[in-house]
């Protein structure tokens, strides 16, 4: 998923540093650079970036005025602005915090910038989870997503869709997260997942299993929990791109 980033910064050198720092990341696209507040407002409303890096000390209109005049067309309530400023006087006047995702102090630490971008992308991905498509697939696999077992399975898929690294270390991390979420033991989570996989193996047709998991003969293969979740998330990614 590509994240469109816009930078409102009157220092051209700083903007070039943004570009250079993320030059090898193919998931990030810089869509605009505004050197003053008036241009920032017009450019933001035209480009509709996913994320805006905003310096408060801009000419013509300062960063506070920019915040008051931009609207995210996808989600009017989304906080998708990262303030990057050394102006302590203006920062003390920040009241429109609903739009501000994070505040970073100048001089710029690009490790902080990088962490802010990746945290934003992770949060964005979490809230963009295709719930309806996930539920539809599960029902085709003979799993009711509205039962407790179905909800546990959906939550596992949801978290791993956000962060596939949760499947590392024998899935211990995701089991722990789900057990806390549903106030049950890790063993109950594991049992619930295994029950879902057994149901799918017994009752789903070979053609559908092959389409999602590349299983050409379900009778001779029992999917491991890790293989199941990994395959499901990959399939969900492919059909939502």
pLDDT at residue 95, as a whole number = 64
Q: Are 3 and 50 in contact (CB under 8 A)?
A: yes
**Cβ burial 107-134 (10 Å sphere, 16+ → b, else e):** ebeeeebeebbeebbeebeeeebeeeeb
Cross-sheet strand order for the sheet of 100-105 = 28-34, 3-8, 51-54, 81-85, 100-105
pLDDT in tens, the chain (241 residues): 678 899 999 888 888 888 888 888 888 888 999 999 999 999 998 888 888 999 988 999 988 888 888 866 655 557 888 988 877 766 666 766 778 888 888 888 888 888 888 888 877 766 678 888 999 999 999 999 999 999 999 999 988 887 888 888 789 999 999 999 999 999 999 999 999 998 888 887 778 888 888 765 555 456 789 989 998 998 888 886 5
pLDDT at residue 220, as a whole number = 47
- How is residue 219 annotated by DSSP? G
Give the total residue count for the chain: 241
In the block, residue with structure tokens 């030059």: 23
- Report the candidate in 14, 20, 57, 50 with the shortest Cα–Cα distance to residue 33: 14
- How is residue 167 annotated by DSSP? G
pLDDT at residue 37, as a whole number = 92
DSSP 102-163: EEEESSP-HHHHHHHHHHHHHHHHHHT--HHHHHHHHHHTT--TTSHHHHHHHHHHHHHHH-
């Amino acid at each position: 998923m590509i994240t469109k980033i816009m930078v409102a910064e009157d220092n051209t050198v700083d903007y070039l540093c943004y570009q250079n720092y993320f030059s090898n990341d193919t998931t990030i696209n810089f869509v605009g650079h505004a050197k003053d507040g008036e241009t920032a407002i017009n450019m933001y409303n035209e480009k509709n970036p996913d994320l805006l890096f905003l310096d408060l000390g801009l000419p013509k209109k300062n960063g506070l005025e920019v915040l008051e005049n931009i609207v995210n067309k996808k989600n009017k309530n989304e906080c998708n602005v990262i303030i990057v400023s050394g102006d302590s006087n203006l920062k003390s006047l920040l009241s429109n915090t609903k739009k501000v995702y994070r505040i970073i102090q100048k001089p710029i630490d690009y490790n902080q910038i990088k962490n802010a971008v990746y945290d934003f992308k992770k949060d964005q991905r979490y809230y963009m989870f295709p719930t309806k498509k996930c539920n539809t697939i599960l029902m085709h696999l003979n799993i009711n997503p509205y039962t407790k077992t179905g909800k546990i399975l959906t939550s596992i898929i949801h978290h791993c869709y956000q962060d596939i690294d949760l499947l590392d270390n024998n899935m211990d991390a995701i089991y722990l997260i789900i057990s806390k979420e549903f106030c049950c033991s890790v063993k109950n989570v594991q049992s619930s997942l295994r029950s879902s996989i057994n149901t799918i193996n017994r009752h789903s047709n070979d053609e559908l299993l092959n389409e999602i998991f590349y299983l050409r003969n379900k009778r001779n293969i029992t999917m491991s929990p890790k293989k199941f979740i990994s395959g499901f998330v990959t399939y969900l990614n492919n059909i939502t791109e």
